[in-house]
Amino acid sequence: MRSILYYILLICFIPSSLVVFVVLYILTTPFDRERRVMHWGERMWSRIMLGLNPWWRVRIEGKEHLPKGRPVVIVTNHRSMVDIPLVTQLPIHFKWVAKREVYRWPFFGWVLWMSGDIGIERGAAAGARTMLREGKKHLAAGTSIAVFPEGTRSRTLSRECRHIPVCIAKYSLRQSTSWPAGLV
């Protein structure tokens, strides 16, 4: 019964929030190259979506370890669709790396496009090179990158796992290397 109630609320919430995203996109994109306002909108949308379900409690630990004023690469497992709003709660401006198929989905794909996130054509070396090139461009502009390296939802994590493991890595464009900053 809980799930049914949640999905009914979600179905009502998504179309109305699309209007907000379109307005944000139209008003801010000419002035906001990295689309920080769109990402802020995604964070608010995620917070509301997580709040719609009264049975969920979200707590982010380790925020104090996040580097200030420099981009990071966020690498995490992907267990369910809930991972996306959970990771979006991190207090970091970032671009998602998402498979190109998601861009064709109503609402979610449209928001990815409006937010200027990075699409990857899976199974194509040229697609991976394009994604790396775009990622480097965003990192150079001071915007972090978030990726689910498995490319799809993970079957390896146990259902009883109550935490989403996330690694935040500092990134150096000069050295083209990264090093672990810690787990959040």
Q: Are 71 and 95 in contact (CB under 8 A)?
A: no
Residue 147 has which token pair?
A: 């990726």
pTM of the model: 0.77
Lowest-confidence region among 28-37, 137-146, 147-156, 171-180: 171-180
Quick: pLDDT tens for 83-115. Answer: 888 889 888 899 999 988 889 988 889 999 999
Find tokens 């008003």 and name the residue.
27
Strands lying side by side in the sheet with 72-76: 118-120, 94-99, 144-147, 72-76, 166-172, 177-183
Where exactly are the structural domains of the chain? 2-183
Question: For residue 163, with 0-12 CB atoms within 10 Å meaning exposed, 13-18 middle and 19 or more buried, which class applies?
Answer: exposed
The DSSP line for 127-176 is HHHHHHHHHHHHHHTT-EEEE-TTSS--SSS-TT-----EEEEEEETTTT
Calculate mean pLDDT across residues 140-168.
Answer: 65
- Our CA angle for 110, 3, 83, nearest 5°, is 45
184 Cβ partners below 8 Å, 6+ apart? 60, 61, 62, 63, 65, 66, 90, 166, 167, 168
Comparing C-alpha atoms, which of 85, 47, 43, 75 is closest to residue 184?
75
